[in-house]
Structure 1
Amino acid sequence: MAFGLIIIGDEILSGKRVDQHFPKVLEILSSRGLSLSWAEYVGDDPARITATLKRTLSSDDIVFCTGGIGATPDDHTRQCAAAALGVPLLLHPQAREKIGERITDTAREKGEVPDFESAVNLHRLKMGEFPQGAEIIPNSYNKIPGFSVVNPGTQSPQKAAQTAHAGMHHFAPGFPVMAWPMFEWVLDTYHAALFHQNPQLEQSVLVFGAMESALTPLMEAIEAEFPLVKVFSLPHVGNAQMRNHIDLGVKGEPIQSAAAFVKLLAGLDQLHAEYKPA
């Protein structure tokens, strides 16, 4: 099982808006001892969105999706999720209730009586049409919910509500002020049992005047000796403040990672490499 992120919207790919979701999702996951395994950007193309969701829904991953769940012509995510699952879109009763509350609140703010049968308000209800079997995600900002679905073949929706280990997709609007609290809610509601289950330790040094090819045998030896550790090497081009260097380190299970770091420093000393703490 892994955590993934799908960010949907032409405005991100065209540069009209700068994506803020990726760094925030990293922060939300990290604060719970979790990490992001993959991320994808997808434009407002129904065929591509459907194909992407078909692929990710066939996994056991827990996936956050942002964007395209409104009811304007360029919003396709709800329909594509239903198509990928092979189920119809249905007006969710709790979504209908929450959207009704929003309609009432909006009318009250204007000093009006809500007209639930107006064309505008009937159209608003389309934002509550989710794939059959979906559950709503509360929206603390304006009450119009997102939705969650269980990946096919993982578990039933009933069991998914009782375990953190069900693969699921969680769909939220593209607006950060709405999406981020909604993602935190689904993590705390559905996946809390996964929090802080795999503690990680990461340590690194900055190595100067060395080629990655010269460091590769040391890196391979460390990963072979410590199977719960990954060795990373991040070259940096020099600038006015610092020479060319490599950020070389280890990350993984704390006990093995600590031992691997000692081994890494010893190996650098044997190579007479110049390094300092990162």
Structure 2
Amino acid sequence: MSAFGAYIIGDEILSGRREDKHFAKLRELLHARGLRLSWVHYLGDEPQRLTEAFRRSLASEDIVFSFGGIGATPDDHTRQCVAHALGVPLELHPEAEALIRARFGERTTPQRLEMGRFPRGARIIPNPYNQIPGFSVADHHFVPGFPVMAWPMVEWVLDTQYAHLFHREDYVEDSVYVWDAHEGDLVDLMQALTVRYPEGTLFSLPSVPEETGGRRRLELGFKGPRAVVEAAMRDIVAALEARGLSWERPRS
């Protein structure tokens, strides 16, 4: 099954002038469809880095969403860098041109038409907010940085192009909170579970007392095929109880 990844682009994200909201939202949109996010890269407005990143991921089989940098101001480089990575020119997309002209009418300018110049062979992504489209090439999908535009566009791409992947993977996560325990006290249990259930992945997430109201807490769990996770969690709970350790399920 193809992996899903994301680029989140903009100097304003890296400098802290804007707070990224795309990572959490994309993860939510994928999860609701039985999909999961494998990687996220944050990139500034540096054409060379952008081109190199796009060249690498376009050579892969990953399904990638890219947020930001598709406008027509001098600090927007995404469209040009995708074209460079593909080795094709930018061209005014006829559907994009029609949408932009319909949106602006007599106020259509060459600058506004620049927003419809995409790498040759691109497909448009409709924008329900202001009709200025994004674009797709292969399994890479480029949307604006504005959440009000980007998120419906991502949903449209998922629902029209990848519905055949929804809820297909047998993958779940489960965990318990273990109270007043150190990771070091449970390493032997973790090692045994990793050997016993190689089809799944164990995870251990400690929290310091300052984060949990004064008590030490360790989240211990498993992820992978449902049957494997259920069996591993039964073993975890049995081992914790045998050791006299206090545990509870995380609240939803």
TM range (shorter): over 0.9
> What is the CA RMSD across the aligned residues, in angstroms?
1.4
**1:56 Cα deviation from its structure 2 partner:** 1.3
**1:25 Cα deviation from its structure 2 partner:** 0.5
Query: Counterparts in 2 of 1:1-278, with a 5 A limit?
Result: 1-104=2-105, 114=106, 116=108, 121-150=109-138, 168-239=139-210, 241-278=213-250
> Which residue identity is paired with 2:148?
V
1:204/1:115 CA distance change after superposition, 3 Å: closer
The 2-side partners of 1:115 and 1:138 are apart by: 21
Listed one character per residue, the Cα deviations across residues 170-190 of structure 1 (whole Å, up to 9, x for unaligned) are 000100010000000111111
Listed one character per residue, the Cα deviations across residues 22-66 of structure 1 (whole Å, up to 9, x for unaligned) are 111111111101111110110011111111111111111001001
TM-score (norm 1): 0.85
Is the contact made by 1:201 and 1:258 (CA closer than 8 Å) also made in structure 2?
Answer: no
Secondary structure of the 1:44 match is coil
Secondary structure of the 1:52 match is helix
Q: Give unpaired runs (5+ residues) of structure 2.
A: none
Is the contact made by 2:181 and 2:216 (CA closer than 8 Å) also made in structure 1?
Answer: no
> Which residue identity is paired with 1:257?
V
**1:211 Cα deviation from its structure 2 partner:** 2.2
The 1-side partners of 2:89 and 2:237 are apart by: 58
> Which residue identity is paired with 1:3?
F
Listed one character per residue, the Cα deviations across residues 185-218 of structure 1 (whole Å, up to 9, x for unaligned) are 1111111111001143322211123221232232
How many residue pairs get aligned? The number is: 248
The 2-side partners of 1:81 and 1:266 are apart by: 53
**1:276 Cα deviation from its structure 2 partner:** 2.4
Deviates most, 41-50 or 223-232: 223-232
> Which residue identity is paired with 1:37?
S
The 2-side partners of 1:211 and 1:42 are apart by: 37
Q: Give unpaired runs (5+ residues) of structure 1.
A: 105-113, 151-167
The 2-side partners of 1:199 and 1:87 are apart by: 39
